[in-house]
Amino acid sequence: MMNILVTGGNGQLGSSINSIEDKFGNDNKYIYLTAEELDVTNIDSIDSAIAAHKPSYIINCAAYTAVDKAESENDLAFAINATAAGNLAVACKSNGIRLIHISTDFVFGDTDPLPLTEEMETIPTGVYGDTKLKGEKMISQSMDDYFIIRTSWLYSEFQHNFLKTMIRLGNERGELSVVYDQVGTPTYAVDLAEFIMHIINTDSSAYGIYHYSNEGVASWYDFAYEIFKQNNIQINLKAITSDKFPTPARRPNYSVMSKDKVKQTFGITINHWTQSLSNCIKKLN
């Protein structure tokens, strides 16, 4: 039996891991620490948590994810997304702990419309992506026994996310406009949680950077359309271009990630995003 420490334990991914622990967690003990219980920007706080719980793995779900607010709160975003990742890496290296760190498709900027591989050049277009990329680099420069998992468009039955926002707005309004010129792949956080547990349960040493999302391709309009369809919500859904919905942070126009490396390395199969959306909605209902 191993102790597994989860930072950001009450967030969307931490809650998703917690929800399947009984089914996939084996005999391992998962410890979920909130930001109030563990300040990942403070190395002394990390050292205290390690001394108290003696984990074999740390899953870093703690992140500053307010993409637009990051443009004006860059110091806070850097502290949580970069400095904290570096702190965890140093502490893990010193204590022989393996680190599983969650990153994002936002480390890529404007790219050709080809599936993004782990080897492609990373040029973020905003503060959020830049701080997440700096966190990745701090980890890779500090230790070897790490898994960095880049994911995209995360949603679940937990916390605030696009799925739950669309359901709420669909029940409140008769018409809604959603952008159709930003393309990626929705990812069910519970599927990602299962993959993380697969890494741990197989005692994998295939360290490095991996891309994980559900299969398929969608625009935000497609995602919203499928949400309303599966929830039997009648609404006049309009497709608009990004320039009609300006935001402080510029989003990647194309961020569909290749899953070839993760599937070949770990021998896993990945659900199509529409199937996983159906699984999530059943739990919500």
How far is the C-alpha of 8 from the C-alpha of 57, rounded, in Å?
14
pLDDT digits (tens, 9 = 90+) for 98-122: 999 999 999 998 778 889 999 999 9
Arithmetic mean of pLDDT, 261-275: 98
The reported pTM is 0.96
What domains can be seen in the chain, in order of their start residue?
A: 3-160+185-215+257-271 (3.40.50.720)
How far is the C-alpha of 266 from the C-alpha of 263, rounded, in Å?
6
The token pair that represents 188 in the structure block:
């069910």
pLDDT digits (tens, 9 = 90+) for 148-163: 999 999 999 999 999 9
**Residues near 51 by beta carbon (within 8 Å), at least 6 away in sequence:** none
Residue whose structure tokens are 């929800």: 19
Report the 10 Å Cβ neighbour count for 142. Answer: 19
Does 245 have pLDDT greater than 90?
Answer: no
Arithmetic mean of pLDDT, 21-42: 94
Residues designated catalytic: 128
Does 250 have pLDDT greater than 90?
Answer: no
Quick check: helix, strand or coil at residue 4?
A: strand
Does 248 have pLDDT greater than 90?
Answer: no
